[in-house]
Amino acid sequence: MPRPAQPPRLYLRERKGREARYVILDRGREIGTGFGESDQRGAEEAFGCYLADKHRPDFGDGHPSKVAVADALTYYLESLRDDHSGPEPYHVDRLLEGLGGLTCDAINIDACRKYVKARTGGAHGRRPVVEATARRELETLAAALNLLHRHGKLDRPIPIAKPDAGQPNERWLTRMEAARLLRGALGYEAVGVDDQGGVKGWRRVAEPNYHVARFILIALYTATRHSAVLALRWTRSPTAGSVDLVTETIHRRGTAERETRKRRPPCPIPHRLMPHLRRWRRLTIHGPCEYEGEIIQRQRSGFESAKERAGLGADVTPHTLKHTCITWLLQKGVPTWQVAGFTGTSEGLIARVYGHHSPNYMEEARSAIGRR
């Protein structure tokens, strides 16, 4: 029996002596995306456009047995075509690899569990992922199927069985830990740490990664997301955020970029960050976090090296800096609505995840219980 053809998928083509490039594999054909390993987001957008252009789905009478999962995902990507700034194109790539050969009536508890097992075991994708990542991908599938039902392309809703949501990551850095991380980015290694987290001494073991140190400071002071910090320019741009030293404002998104669920409102530059930004403006060309005169997409190795030299664990990630900024603001007694506006996070999320860091947390309840 012939092996069924795989749906189109995104693949990082690595060749000896040449730069790795993202390509689209489709039934024996290889279509270049024009993007290298450092620009995964651009490759994902190209893949989404390819899927939307390649095939016009046929939903028939809307019965789940007549609607292919691949068609449902293609239709969903088409609806997002004007805004691919989220992770949906990458999710669709993985979903097509694992579930693209099925029809919607085959999406049940067993199929979802097998998908999660395959993703966490490394059967799909370049490497194994945590269960939370597989959950987010299934949420994208659920969004696609719900959209089809709302638009009358499916005659009934299709429930998606997702793993239970884990506890939100509340890891944040103390002032001492943040200072250690910053020194790690500058090439210093901690020589012993005491019980209070203080470092007994430092020694320089590597060349400084100034772009990583700048990223750490901007993220700590503004709670701006990883990719948005790296993309910052000194002048206004339609596709990236910018730093305005005249009005002392950071614009987190470009002039032509649409707002998404991951909100990126402008924020005033904290006073302690302004002298650093003015100095970096004299030292760089395009933006504060550039490396060798070029804007970079990611700086995983640099951040990991800084973290290792600082003696911090695997639970510290670039997103931890956003958690840290929010936590520090609440510990200083800043109202949640101001924290929400400054950091671009919903007030409900701040109250639910970070509220216990506030000095006034449940103070009224504590006082009321003893009141006569």
- pLDDT tens-digit map of 95-125: 888 888 889 999 999 999 999 999 988 887 7
Residue 159: both structure tokens together: 């429930």
The segments of the chain whose pLDDT lies below 50 read 1-2, 83
Instruction: Give the chain's domains with CATH numbers.
Output: 9-150 (1.10.150), 175-321 (1.10.443)
- What is the predicted pLDDT for the residue at 115? 92
Rounded Cα–Cα distance for residues 254 and 9 (Å): 29
- What is the number of helices (H) and of strands (E) in the chain? 14, 8
DSSP per residue, 20-44: -EEEEEETTEEEEEEEETT-HHHHH
What is the residue type of 65? Answer: S
Q: Is 35 exposed, middle or buried (0-12, 13-18, 19+ CB in 10 A)?
A: buried
Count CB-CB contacts under 10 A for residue 118.
18
- Give the 3-state secondary structure of residue 276: helix
For the chain, how far is it from start to end, CA to CA, in angstroms?
Answer: 81
What is the Cα 345 distance to its own chain's centre? 14
- pLDDT tens-digit map of 131-170: 888 898 999 999 999 999 999 888 989 999 888 776 666 7
- What is the predicted pLDDT for the residue at 1? 42
Rounded Cα–Cα distance for residues 64 and 28 (Å): 29
DSSP per residue, 188-235: EEE--B-TTS-BS-EEE-S---HHHHHHHHHHHHH---HHHHHT-BSS
The residues, any chain, with a CB within 8 Å of residue 136's CB and separated by 6 or more, are 87, 91
DSSP state of 249: E
- What is the predicted pLDDT for the residue at 37? 78
